Chain A
């Protein structure tokens, strides 16, 4: 007999997410034992101590969208390239060198980074300069926790960040049209703002490579390109440091790059944005809706000039 009406797959037929994650972890774990020193475990679960009061209650963008629609030019300039080309990116061992105008410079390995402060989950809005946005449950802690440990000197006014760059692992980067290693920067008070997140994970797990593994910044009130990925170096400096997109086109990408619907990108409007997964566009909000926490830092500044 031919059964024509096969019942549709119900939720209970599908392996629950936790189980397959466990399985994956088990497999990855055994592989790591077999091949010690192999690449970092993929998507290991991160223990989150608390949920941050900074979180928005807006619905999350699906993990699939956040992990397949990426700007990570070291791994190609098309949105779907980083998730393909960063698969074998080696993120372990990993070190961040912290130097410059600090009393206690040092090199932090991943273990040390994860011990700096308890991990929090923070659900932030993330607004790209290309006028799309996402809502992501990041995991990490305030960048200020790291900076406090190295004790900035009074001469430190800015923080310069540098991404890891290895042309052998990132051959597509040669065609990106911007220079690498990718560099970014913040004023010290911006970097010390509690919203500035040193991020090691998202959606309960370690960061996927294409999202900036193993550690990145998330600066929710600024355009996404300020949230530098795969950080290798942090330097406290006296003068405003160079930033990659500003070097590429200073008319279009300023040092501050605060989300601002009033100040257009020369080639497109920033008044509206498309939240991934939504059909209609929504209005963009000044400082991406984080004005209460950050507007004070820009008092008296002309945001049109300091775009």
Chain B
């Protein structure tokens, strides 16, 4: 089956911007509740994790569904995770701390959920920078893939950030945690088990 990726890509791109439209619409229609800044912080954080999970789903989905062309969406989803992560961080730096540098540094040093949240974000920066075709070429596929395994660490850090921040109801962080764990276990299983088809193809050149 051939997917007309041009159109689909445009549709996915638009859909991925939906949270921004929704937040903007809510902001102008009294829809952000009693604590709008908290609402925006939570929404952008949630969407960062969702896009991280989605981007990690691409590789297993390609193989399990037999849709290799899904690879065309992986970069976009990863960059949207970075986009929402940037909005999330900006909300914190600006609307929560008002760029009070000493406060922010104290927070990073003292509050472990902030520390690990920052780690999750900063690990995404090199991945966003090297997401272009040019950088893949410059680094070479092997090195590029190795570098981009940092997303596993970032996703785990993001989930722990969420888990450490909630007061008592850990259902949502655990749900994200389970999804990330499952997606990483899939990769582990693929890595440790020799692929039968490739073994077969090697045996008969």
- Could you list which residues of chain A lie within 8 angstroms of chain B, going by C-beta atoms? 64-66, 68-69, 73, 77, 79-80, 130, 132, 175-178, 248-249, 264, 267-269, 274, 276-277, 280-281
Q: Chain A residues with Cβ under 8 A from B111's Cβ?
A: 267-268
Query: Are the CB atoms of B169 and A79 closer together than 8 Å?
Result: no
Q: How many A-B residue pairs have CB under 8 A?
A: 50
Across the interface, A267 reaches (CB within 8 A) one of B96, B98, B113, namely B113
Across the interface, A69 reaches (CB within 8 A) one of B33, B106, B168, B171, namely B33
Bound CA–CA A66/B33 (angstroms): 11
B interface majority secondary structure: helix
Q: Chain B residues with Cβ under 8 A from A268's Cβ?
A: 111
What does the 1/0 interface line of B158-189 toward A look like (CB < 8 Å)?
Answer: 00000011011111000000000000000000
Bound CA–CA A206/B113 (angstroms): 40
Q: Tell me if B37 counts as interface (CB < 8 A to partner A).
A: yes
Bound CA–CA A69/B37 (angstroms): 13
- Could you list which residues of chain B lie within 8 angstroms of chain A, going by C-beta atoms? 33-35, 37-38, 96, 98, 103, 106-107, 110-113, 164-165, 167-171
Q: Chain B residues with Cβ under 8 A from A77's Cβ?
A: 167-169
Bound CA–CA A10/B34 (angstroms): 25
Question: Which residue of chain A is the closest to B170 with respect to CB atoms?
Answer: A177
Q: Chain B residues with Cβ under 8 A from A69's Cβ?
A: 33-35
Bound CA–CA A280/B112 (angstroms): 25
Q: Which of B35, B167, B168 has the most CB of A within 10 A?
A: B167
Bound CA–CA A65/B39 (angstroms): 13
Query: Are the CB atoms of A177 and B164 closer together than 8 Å?
Result: no
- 22 interchain pairs, CB-CB under 8 A: A64-B34, A65-B34, A66-B34, A68-B34, A79-B33, A80-B33, A130-B167, A132-B38, A175-B169, A176-B168, A176-B169, A177-B169, A178-B168, A248-B168, A267-B112, A267-B113, A267-B164, A269-B103, A269-B106, A274-B37, A280-B98, A281-B96
Min Cβ gap A177→B in Å is 3
Q: Which of B33, B107, B112, B168 has the most CB of A within 10 A?
A: B168
Given A73-B168, A176-B168, A177-B169 in contact, is the A269-B33 Cβ separation under 8 Å? no
Across the interface, B35 reaches (CB within 8 A) one of A132, A178, A264, A269, namely A132
Bound CA–CA A177/B168 (angstroms): 5
Bound CA–CA A101/B57 (angstroms): 61
Question: Which residue of chain B is the closest to A277 with respect to CB atoms?
Answer: B34
Min Cβ gap B175→A in Å is 12
| Interface contacts beyond A65-B34, A69-B35: sample of 16 additional A-B pairs, CB < 8 Å, sorted by A | A64-B34, A77-B167, A77-B169, A132-B35, A175-B171, A176-B168, A177-B170, A178-B168, A267-B112, A268-B111, A269-B106, A269-B107, A274-B37, A276-B35, A277-B34, A281-B96
